[in-house]
Structures are given as C-alpha cells and as structure tokens.
A and B are shown apart, each in its own frame.
Chain A
Amino acid sequence: DQQVKQNSPSLSVQEGRISILNCDYTNSMFDYFLWYKKYPAEGPTFLISISSIKDKNEDGRFTVFLNKSAKHLSLHIVPSQPGDSAVYFCAASAQTGANNLFFGTGTRLTVIP
C-alpha cells in the first residue's frame, strides 16, 4: 500500500504565479520529508526537506509546509518559472531503523510562459 501519496498527477501554472504541490502520508512514524525534482532523462535532484519538529522550511523561491496532524505536506514555488517545469516527487522517512525513503508517484508541473 502506498504510504506516500501525490494525488495530482499534473499541474499547470502561469509563469510568475504560485505553484502548490501536495503530498499526503499514512505512516505516523515518518519524521523527515523531502521534495525531489526530476527532469526527463535525469535522476531526481534534492530540492528541499523538512523535519517533523518544524512546520515550515524556506529556501529561496521554495517553501515546504508540514501539517503533522493532517499528515500532509505541500511545496510552494513563488514565483513559478518555466525552468521549474519538471516532475516533483515527495518522499518520507523515519529516522529510526533503516531510514529508507518512501516516494510518492510524482506530480508533473508545467509552468506556462
């Protein structure tokens, strides 16, 4: 059963507007969350992460929000740029045990110029 879910396979946004990508998880043991960005024919690249002790982490145009009670996180990109067009994967891990990552199925973001 998918422990990390991205229910929107695709999202289109106008350049300069905000992009909001969503992710839900089911395992309450997850305490570290990451977003990866993937261009075609390349490997995923790390974008931003958040620990469960925080509810927000910001890095330039990228902000990740975590709502532990709802088991939900989101990635905000402001302002969106055409170069942000890619597939975004949400991932989660528990910092105990094997500490492996569990990935969502991805959301394809298209930023329209």
Chain B
Amino acid sequence: NAGVTQTPKFQVLKTGQSMTLQCAQDMNHNSMYWYRQDPGMGLRLIYYSASEGTTDKGEVPNGYNVSRLNKREFSLRLESAAPSQTSVYFCASRAGMGIQYFGAGTRLSVL
C-alpha cells in the first residue's frame, strides 16, 4: 500500500522556469492538500481540494496553481519559479477526523 506518492523527490530550477509537482493517493480519500515547509516556519498550506473538482486557496497560494485531476491525483504548478519558492513541498490526503497522511516530500531549489 503506497499511501501518498510524490514525484519528483528533488528538483533544481532556474528563476522563471516552470514545473509541476505530482501527487497521487491510493487511499480513496476525498480531500487532498499541498504544503510547503521552510526552516522555522512549520508547514504552511498552499492549496487544498476538499473533493474532486474543487480547489481552494490556503495560507500561502501566491505563485502557485493546482489541478485536481481526479480523485487520486492533485498536482501543484509553479508557472514562473522564484528563489522564494525554494522549499520542501508536501502533499497530503485526509481520512476522517482531520488526520492527514503525507507523502515523502519534494525538495525544490530555485536558483
């Protein structure tokens, strides 16, 4: 049982380049989330999808777009990467009572 799978694990971009972070879950969860983790900042919510076909902004959505492709997949896109987007990105999906299950993360560096 894979749980939440994120690809890629590592990525280096130049300023202005675009990329899409992929996330898939096999637990049949309705809700999915994208977070970023920065030193001393904890995890901050970028976007979330409460169910297939819906997406909403979280705490730090600027510079990002998302697509809930189907119930399993939720992607995060950086259209024009900036050094401030250097971070570790985590995808999560939610079971009942608020418990979220996380992927292993994507470590992104923007030069």
Contact = CB atoms under 8 A, between A and B. Distances in A.
Q: For the side of the interface on A, what is the size category?
A: 20 to 34
Contacts of B97: 32, 49, 51
Given A4-B42, A42-B104, A100-B48, 18 more contacts: A2-B42, A9-B40, A42-B105, A43-B90, A43-B103, A44-B43, A44-B102, A51-B97, A98-B50, A98-B56, A100-B33, A100-B45, A100-B58, A101-B45, A101-B100, A103-B43, A105-B41, A106-B42
Contact of A49 (B4, B44, B58, B99): B99
Contacts, number: 58
Interface of A: 2, 4, 6, 9, 32, 34, 36, 41-46, 49, 51, 89, 93, 95, 98-101, 103-106
A46 B90 CA distance: 14
Most buried by A among B44, B50, B97: B97
A49 B42 contact: no
